[in-house]
């Protein structure tokens, strides 16, 4: 606040000095010093008295009525003060009344300029606040959308795993117990990290390792995997639950339909502008790239929400069979 008062006072002094120079040029008073004192006394009186009124009277109607009296009154006070300081005339001198008229004219211009600048600052602050509110609203909508998309990922895996447990209870109780233990570990990690805003790729890979161990109980030697990820990539910030749908897709459409199963390979490449993650499988492949269901659609929706056009998901068929899902994120 002190800074604003200082700047406003300095601007007022400079404005008053310019008026004094103009009056001297048009020979209103031969002495620049007298013009300067009159201009400063009138201008600073207008500024001090009327700005005080504006700060202490909140009601616009009362403020306007008060300014109708204080504005001319402040000019007359400034003229009286300047005449006393300079000894140049009094109210019997016609120039004193001319000074009042000049004060009304330039004071009106200065006041209008000040009020317009205040209004512009107010409008600018309102626009900035509106933008902040809109950004906050968009952020909340984006977070809600991400939570909804993440929520669609978890139930599918849970239902399949619980169905496997149900099938194993009678035929292989020991395996069913082992599967439930693995599922419990996965849930403990997933429920924390899926709702975290600070997950890394290393966190995601750790959860995927647990996920694949669960599937390993079901598929046995038909499911193999390799994670070719360097340390720098593991420490990179990464949206939670973004890779698992790709691995799920590789298992469901690649490994499971193939009699001998296959291998899933996860590898990363850190480019100058793009962070590339590949999930490749040696399974049966996709006859139709659009046949992967809602899993990949959810990934694309999350990419669009998080990164816009800078985030992409592509599917490519491998020469030796299988499919590679490629994530490209801005680095």
pLDDT digits (tens, 9 = 90+) for 161-176: 788 788 778 888 888 8
Q: Sheet of 312-317: strands edge to edge?
A: 223-228, 262-270, 274-281, 323-330, 312-317
Cβ–Cβ < 8 Å for 152, 294: yes
Token duo for residue 51: 């700005």
Return the number of other C-beta atoms located less than 10 Å from residue 225's C-beta.
21
The mean per-residue pLDDT over the stretch 167-195 comes to: 77
Return the number of other C-beta atoms located less than 10 Å from residue 265's C-beta.
18
Domains of the chain, start order: 2-130 (no CATH), 172-330 (3.30.565.10)
pTM of the prediction? 0.54
**Which range has the worst mean pLDDT, 65-79, 90-104, 172-186?**
90-104
């Amino acid at each position: 606040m002190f800074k604003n008062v200082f700047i406003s006072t300095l601007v007022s002094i400079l404005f008053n000095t310019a008026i004094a120079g103009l009056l001297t040029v048009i020979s209103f008073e031969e002495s620049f010093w007298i013009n300067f004192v009159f201009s400063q006394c009138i201008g600073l009186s207008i500024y001090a008295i009327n700005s005080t009124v504006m700060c202490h009277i909140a009601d616009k109607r009362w403020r306007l009525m008060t300014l109708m009296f204080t504005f001319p009154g402040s000019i007359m006070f400034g003229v009286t003060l300047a005449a006393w300081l300079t000894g140049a005339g009094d109210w019997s001198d016609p120039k004193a009344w001319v000074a009042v008229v000049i004060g009304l004219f330039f004071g009106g211009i200065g006041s209008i300029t000040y009020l317009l600048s205040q209004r512009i600052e107010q409008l600018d602050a309102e626009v900035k606040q509106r933008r902040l509110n809109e950004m906050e609203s968009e952020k909340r909508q984006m977070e809600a959308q991400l939570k909804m998309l993440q929520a669609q990922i978890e139930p599918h895996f849970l239902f399949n795993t619980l169905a496997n447990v149900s099938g194993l209870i009678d035929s292989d109780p020991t395996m069913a117990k082992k599967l439930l233990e693995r599922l419990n570990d996965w849930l403990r990690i997933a429920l924390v990290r899926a709702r975290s805003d600070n997950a890394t790729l290393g966190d995601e890979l750790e959860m995927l390792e647990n996920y694949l161990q669960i599937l390993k109980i079901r598929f046995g030697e038909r499911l193999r995997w390799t994670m070719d990820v360097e340390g720098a990539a593991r420490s990179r910030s990464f949206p939670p639950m973004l890779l698992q749908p790709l691995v799920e897709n590789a298992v469901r459409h690649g490994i499971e339909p193939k009699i001998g199963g296959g291998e899933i390979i996860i590898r990363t490449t850190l480019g100058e502008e793009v962070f590339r993650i590949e999930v490749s499988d040696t399974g049966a492949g996709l006859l139709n790239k659009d046949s992967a269901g809602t899993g990949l659609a959810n990934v694309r929706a999350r990419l669009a929400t998080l990164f816009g056009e800078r985030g992409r998901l592509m599917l490519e068929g491998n020469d030796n069979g299988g499919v590679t899902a490629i994530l490209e994120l801005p680095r």
